[in-house]
Structure 1
Amino acid sequence: MCGICCMVSFAGCSIDRSCLQDNENLRRRGPNSSHQLIRHNPSHGYDCYFSGHVLHLRGPLTPQPLEDKNGNVFLWNGELFGGIEVQSADNDTQIMFQHLSSCDDESNIFSLFAKVKGPWAFIYYQANRHYLWFGRDFFGRRSLLWKFSDNLDKVFSLSSVSECSSEPDSDDWQEVPASGLFKCDLQSSAKLKCIELTWYPWKTAPEIPLTDESLLGQEQSQILKCSSTLVHIVLGESKWLTAPVTPLNKQIPGEITNLHNTGSQNKTAVEHLRMLITDRHKTNAQSLIKILSEAVKRRVLCLQRECSLMADSEKNANVAILFSGGIDSMILAVLADHHVPPEEPIELLNVAFMMKEQKPRKLKKRVPECSSQTGNLERPTVYSQYDVPDRITGRSGLEELKALNPSRTWKFVEINVTLQELQERRQHHICTLLRPLSTVLDDSIGCAVWFASRGIGMLASNDEMKPYVSTAKVVLTGIGADEQLGGYSRHRVRFNNLGYEGLLEELAMELDRIAYRNLGRDDRVIGDHGKEARFPFLDEDVVTFLNSLPVWEKTDLTLPRGIGEKLILRIAALELGLNVSSVLPKRAMQFGCRIAKMENCNEKASDACSRLMASSKD
Structure 2
Amino acid sequence: MCGILFRIGTGTVVHPICCGVHECSAQWESSDIEEIKNLINQDLSSTLELRPNDIKKIGNLKEIRELNEKLNRVKNTIGKSPDHSEQLKEEKSRLQSQIDDLSVDDAQDLMEDKLVLDDERDFDTLISSIAGRGPDYLQYLSYPLTDGYHIQQFSAILSLRQPFVKQPIHVRDIDIVIQFNGELYNKECIDSNDTKFITERVLSNINNGKSRHNSILQTISELEGEFAYVILDKSSNLVYFGRDFIGKRSLVYKLLKNEEGKISEFITSSIAIPTITGESEYIECKSEEINILNIKSGSIETVEISRPKPSPEVSLEVLGLKSGHKVDELINEFDVVFTRATKDRIDTIHPLHDTIDHASLGILFSGGLDCTVVAGAIGRIYNERKSTNGMKILVDLLTVGFENPRTQASAQDSPDRQLAKKSWFELAKKFNSDVIDFRLVEVDVGYEEWLRHRHRVKRLMYPCDTEMDLSIAIAFYFASRGEFGTKLSLDFESQTVVESNYTSRAKVLLSGLGADELFAGYSRHESAFDPLMPPQEGNEEEYRNTLMQCYMKLKSELTIDIKNIYKRNLGRDDRVISSWGKELRYPFLEEDVINFVMSKVPLDLKLEFQWETVTNRKGKTSTRIKPIRKWLLREYAEYLGLSWVKHELKRAIQFGAKSAKMEIGQNKTRGTDTLK
Please confirm whether the aligned pair reaches a TM-score higher than 0.5, indicating the same fold: yes
- Cα distance change of structure 1 residues 409 and 278 upon mapping to structure 2, 3 Å threshold: farther
Q: Which residue of 2 aligns with 1:298?
A: 344
SS in 2 for 1:345: strand
Q: 1:567 aligns with which of 621, 628, 631?
A: 631
- Cα distance change of structure 1 residues 586 and 68 upon mapping to structure 2, 3 Å threshold: same
1:492–1:557 Cα contact (<8 Å) kept = no
- Cα distance change of structure 1 residues 435 and 308 upon mapping to structure 2, 3 Å threshold: closer
1:75 aligns with 2:155: no
| 2: CA distance, partners of 1:551 / 1:199 | 33
| 2: CA distance, partners of 1:119 / 1:584 | 29
Q: Which residue of 1 aligns with 2:56?
A: none
Q: Which residue of 2 aligns with 1:582?
A: 646
Q: Which residue of 2 aligns with 1:389?
A: 415
The Cα shift of 1:12 comes to 3.6
Q: Which residue of 1 aligns with 2:603?
A: 551
Per-residue CA deviations over 1:142-198 (Å, capped at 9, x if unaligned) read: 1001012346981010000025x7675696112112231111121x23xxxxx2111
The Cα shift of 1:111 comes to 2.3
The Cα shift of 1:441 comes to 1.4
2:372–2:423 Cα contact (<8 Å) kept = yes
* TM-score using structure 1 length: 0.78
Q: Which residue of 1 aligns with 2:312?
A: 249
The Cα shift of 1:110 comes to 2.5
Q: Which residue of 1 aligns with 2:504?
A: 470
What are the within-5 Å matches in structure 2 for residues 289-368 of structure 1? Answer: 289-304=335-350, 315-340=357-382, 341=388, 343-356=392-405
Q: 1:442 aligns with which of 463, 469, 488?
A: 469
SS in 2 for 1:128: coil
Q: Which residue of 1 aligns with 2:488?
A: 460
Q: Which residue of 1 aligns with 2:141?
A: 37
| 1: CA distance, partners of 2:410 / 2:130 | 37
Aligned residues: 514
What are the within-5 Å matches in structure 2 for residues 401-550 of structure 1? Answer: 401-407=427-433, 408-427=436-455, 429-456=456-483, 457-460=485-488, 463-497=497-531, 499-549=550-600, 550=602
Return 5+ residue gaps in structure 1 as ranges.
Answer: 190-194, 203-241, 260-275, 360-382, 611-618
Superposed CA RMSD: 2.7
Q: 1:400 aligns with which of 412, 415, 426?
A: 426
The Cα shift of 1:339 comes to 3.5
1:147 aligns with 2:254: yes
The Cα shift of 1:387 comes to 1.9
| 1: CA distance, partners of 2:369 / 2:637 | 7
Q: 1:128 aligns with which of 235, 249, 271?
A: 235
Return 5+ residue gaps in structure 2 as ranges.
Answer: 18-120, 383-387, 490-495, 532-548, 613-624
Q: Which residue of 2 aligns with 1:113?
A: 220
| 1: CA distance, partners of 2:279 / 2:499 | 42
Give 2:201's aligned amino acid. H
2:400–2:479 Cα contact (<8 Å) kept = yes
SS in 2 for 1:58: coil
2:162–2:350 Cα contact (<8 Å) kept = yes
| 1: CA distance, partners of 2:279 / 2:441 | 35
Q: 1:598 aligns with which of 659, 662, 669?
A: 662
Give 1:123's aligned amino acid. V
Q: Which residue of 2 aligns with 1:181?
A: 290
Give 1:97's aligned amino acid. T
The Cα shift of 1:416 comes to 0.6
After alignment, is 55-64 or 400-409 more displaced? Answer: 400-409
1:4 aligns with 2:38: no
SS in 2 for 1:129: coil
As a proportion of its length, which structure holds more helix? 2
Q: Which residue of 2 aligns with 1:362?
A: none
The Cα shift of 1:422 comes to 1.1
| 2: CA distance, partners of 1:151 / 1:352 | 49
- Cα distance change of structure 1 residues 255 and 102 upon mapping to structure 2, 3 Å threshold: closer
Q: Which residue of 1 aligns with 2:673?
A: 607
After alignment, is 14-23 or 43-52 more displaced? Answer: 14-23
Q: Which residue of 2 aligns with 1:66?
A: 169
- Cα distance change of structure 1 residues 481 and 503 upon mapping to structure 2, 3 Å threshold: same
| 1: CA distance, partners of 2:268 / 2:488 | 43
Q: 1:100 aligns with which of 192, 196, 202?
A: 202
1:171–1:435 Cα contact (<8 Å) kept = no
Q: Which residue of 2 aligns with 1:374?
A: none
SS in 2 for 1:158: strand
Q: Which residue of 2 aligns with 1:270?
A: none
The Cα shift of 1:507 comes to 0.7
1:30–1:530 Cα contact (<8 Å) kept = yes
The Cα shift of 1:82 comes to 1.8
The Cα shift of 1:17 comes to 3.4
Q: Which residue of 2 aligns with 1:373?
A: none
| 2: CA distance, partners of 1:385 / 1:524 | 24
SS in 1 for 2:655: helix
| 1: CA distance, partners of 2:204 / 2:346 | 31
1:171–1:436 Cα contact (<8 Å) kept = no
Identical aligned residues as a percent: 30
SS in 1 for 2:473: helix
Give 1:351's aligned amino acid. V
The Cα shift of 1:464 comes to 3.7
The Cα shift of 1:55 comes to 0.4
| 1: CA distance, partners of 2:466 / 2:658 | 17
2:313–2:599 Cα contact (<8 Å) kept = no
2:399–2:479 Cα contact (<8 Å) kept = yes
| 2: CA distance, partners of 1:2 / 1:21 | 17
| 2: CA distance, partners of 1:351 / 1:520 | 21
- Cα distance change of structure 1 residues 112 and 404 upon mapping to structure 2, 3 Å threshold: same
Q: Which residue of 2 aligns with 1:280?
A: 326
Give 1:113's aligned amino acid. I
1:284–1:568 Cα contact (<8 Å) kept = no
Q: Which residue of 2 aligns with 1:237?
A: none
| 1: CA distance, partners of 2:393 / 2:331 | 28
- Cα distance change of structure 1 residues 555 and 37 upon mapping to structure 2, 3 Å threshold: same
Q: Which residue of 2 aligns with 1:224?
A: none
The Cα shift of 1:496 comes to 2.5
| 2: CA distance, partners of 1:405 / 1:602 | 44
Q: Which residue of 2 aligns with 1:368?
A: none
Q: Which residue of 2 aligns with 1:375?
A: none
- Cα distance change of structure 1 residues 171 and 332 upon mapping to structure 2, 3 Å threshold: farther
| 2: CA distance, partners of 1:303 / 1:284 | 30
2:290–2:302 Cα contact (<8 Å) kept = yes
| 2: CA distance, partners of 1:357 / 1:309 | 40
- Cα distance change of structure 1 residues 577 and 170 upon mapping to structure 2, 3 Å threshold: farther
Q: Which residue of 2 aligns with 1:376?
A: none
The Cα shift of 1:510 comes to 0.3
1:33–1:54 Cα contact (<8 Å) kept = yes
- Cα distance change of structure 1 residues 250 and 424 upon mapping to structure 2, 3 Å threshold: same
- Cα distance change of structure 1 residues 64 and 170 upon mapping to structure 2, 3 Å threshold: farther
SS in 2 for 1:352: strand
2:365–2:399 Cα contact (<8 Å) kept = yes
SS in 2 for 1:415: strand
SS in 2 for 1:596: coil
- Cα distance change of structure 1 residues 454 and 151 upon mapping to structure 2, 3 Å threshold: farther
After alignment, is 344-353 or 282-291 more displaced? Answer: 282-291
1:39–1:49 Cα contact (<8 Å) kept = yes
The Cα shift of 1:439 comes to 1.1
